[in-house]
Amino acid sequence: MAAEAGEEEEEAARESAARPAAGPALWRLPEELLLLICSYLDMRALGRLAQVCRWLRRFTSCDLLWRRIARASLNSGFTRLGTDLMTSVPVKERVKVSQNWRLGRCREAILLKWRCSQMPWMQLEDDSLYISQANFILAYQFRPDGASLNRRPLGVFAGHDEDVCHFVLANSHIISAGGDGKIGVHKIHSTFTVKYSAHEQEVNCVDCKGGIIVSGSRDRTAKVWPLASGRLGQCLHTIQTEDRVWSIAISPLLSSFVTGTACCGHFSPLRIWDLNSGQLMTHLGSDFPPGAGVLDVMYESPFTLLSCGYDTYVRYWDLRTSVRKCVMEWEEPHDSTLYCLQTDGNHLLATGSSYYGVVRLWDRRQRACLHAFPLTSTPLSSPVYCLRLTTKHLYAALSYDLHVLDFQNP
């Protein structure tokens, strides 16, 4: 009897999913033509069409119909060039969550707390979060909801004598920059750890791509190093920047890198250097006021990058058009220093401010800020030292805790 009941349920499911035999002539059109017609519908019209019957609900859930809408949405997993970074998740579901980003609907929670004031940095990889605390880097595993962590760390990476200032993940390694002037190289899945003296003062920033490490320091130098195990600690180039180096990033083409400096000893805080020779290629901008240091810089493509810092602006640079003037800029409305930025690779921009843990979301097609989330109260005012985001969550590291904004389940 149970087997017969199961067969009847499967048959009913097949019948409900099949195209209706009778009804409007629209249903009798070839699916290719129906897709073409429905491709002109907006999100609301597709949602209403899905309520007509089960077959149309299934048909209008097709990824092809939602792809165009998703590419115009915030943080839907599509890059500016249309590359889909989340092929395993239905596009329609991502568009639903994207509306929460647009409307600022989210649920705030605290993932981690620590007793002493820190300047944490973090990275995400798959279902793991890596965060620095004092002179350690801790690895945690996310629970399935992505809005909470397993309390016991997966791993602890040590080696620095002073606080970890910055770190990146590359080739199954953690490359860390320390206040002790050293660079640490840790293998994620083993106990292998090497550290070597890199600069005379603290190493503020580091990046690694294609087997090459670049570092920047308070000692007014940037250096290039190999990641190869037999050549660790052998400096390839030393570059005199005339300024403290606050941020650094390697181009996706692996031919150059950009430094963000304090803008005290040199008129431009953004300069691009040849990775092979260490020679200056160009500088970006020409009208920076003294002290307009760049605290965060990131490449979005081989020819475009974003920067932010003490002058309260986020700037978008396109090297194909001009290196003297940015193509777009967004000003922090409360005149606060911008410590960090993140982007979805398309329309969404997130920034972290210097006061009250304020995280701002921006639609890059607009000048004004979309939403602001103050994560601390007055007695515990803190900068946002680091931001990371997925299509469902935004993570913000502050002086005393790690916050998450959950846009999937607001």
pLDDT bin (cut points 50, 70, 90) of residue 4 is very low
Looking at every residue in the chain, the average pLDDT score rounds to 91
Least confidently predicted of 7-21, 213-227, 312-326: 7-21
Q: At what angle do helices 43-50 and 63-71 cross, to 10 degrees?
A: 150
pLDDT at residue 12 in the model: 41
**Model confidence at 13: pLDDT above 60:** no
Tens of pLDDT, residue by residue over 171-213, are 899 999 999 999 999 999 888 889 999 999 999 999 999 999 9
Determine the average pLDDT of the residues in 147-167: 93
Tens of pLDDT, residue by residue over 37-49, are 888 899 999 989 8
Determine the average pLDDT of the residues in 226-232: 89
Determine the average pLDDT of the residues in 148-169: 93
Q: Which fold has domain 128-240?
A: Methylamine Dehydrogenase; Chain H (2.130.10)
Distance CA 199, CA 218 (A): 8
Distance CA 77, CA 346 (A): 9
Tens of pLDDT, residue by residue over 282-297, are 999 988 989 999 999 9
pLDDT bin (cut points 50, 70, 90) of residue 25 is low
Distance CA 70, CA 76 (A): 6
Closest to 370 in 3D by CA, of 99, 76, 96: 99
Q: Model pTM?
A: 0.90
pLDDT at residue 81 in the model: 84
Give the strand pairing for 338-343 and 348-353.
antiparallel
Closest to 196 in 3D by CA, of 219, 213, 209, 211: 213
348: phi then psi, degrees, rounded to nearest 5: -90, 135
Cα angle: 112, vertex 115, 116; to 5 degrees: 115
Tens of pLDDT, residue by residue over 341-368, are 999 999 999 999 999 999 999 999 999 9
State both tokens at 99.
């509306």
Percent of the chain's residues with pLDDT above 70: 93
**Model confidence at 65: pLDDT above 70:** yes
Tens of pLDDT, residue by residue over 203-217, are 999 999 999 999 999
Torsion of CA 97, 99, 100, 101, to 10 degrees: 100
- The label of the residue with tokens 């290196």 reads 323
Contact in structure between 302 and 317 (CB atoms under 8 Å): no
Q: How far does CA 278 lie from the centroid of its chain?
A: 28
pLDDT bin (cut points 50, 70, 90) of residue 23 is low
pLDDT at residue 191 in the model: 83
What is 101-147 written as a DSSP string? HHHT--EEEEEEE-SS-----EEEETTEEEEEETTEEEEEEBPTTSS
Tell me if residue 274 falls in helix, strand or coil. strand
Of 229 and 317, the structure prediction assigns the larger pLDDT to 317
**Model confidence at 2: pLDDT above 70:** no
pLDDT at residue 377 in the model: 62
Distance CA 279, CA 342 (A): 29
Q: What is the DSSP letter of 44?
A: H
Contact in structure between 131 and 124 (CB atoms under 8 Å): no
Query: What order do you get walking across the sheet with 212-217 strand by strand?
Result: 203-209, 212-217, 221-226, 237-240
pLDDT bin (cut points 50, 70, 90) of residue 20 is low
pLDDT at residue 118 in the model: 92
Least confidently predicted of 15-24, 197-206, 223-232, 240-249: 15-24
What is 338-365 written as a DSSP string? EEEEEE-SSSEEEEEESSTTEEEEEETT
**Model confidence at 18: pLDDT above 60:** no
Q: What is the DSSP letter of 266?
A: S
Of 256 and 9, the structure prediction assigns the larger pLDDT to 256
Number of neighbours of residue 324 by Cβ within 10 angstroms: 12
Q: How far does CA 282 lie from the centroid of its chain?
A: 26
State both tokens at 49.
């069409």
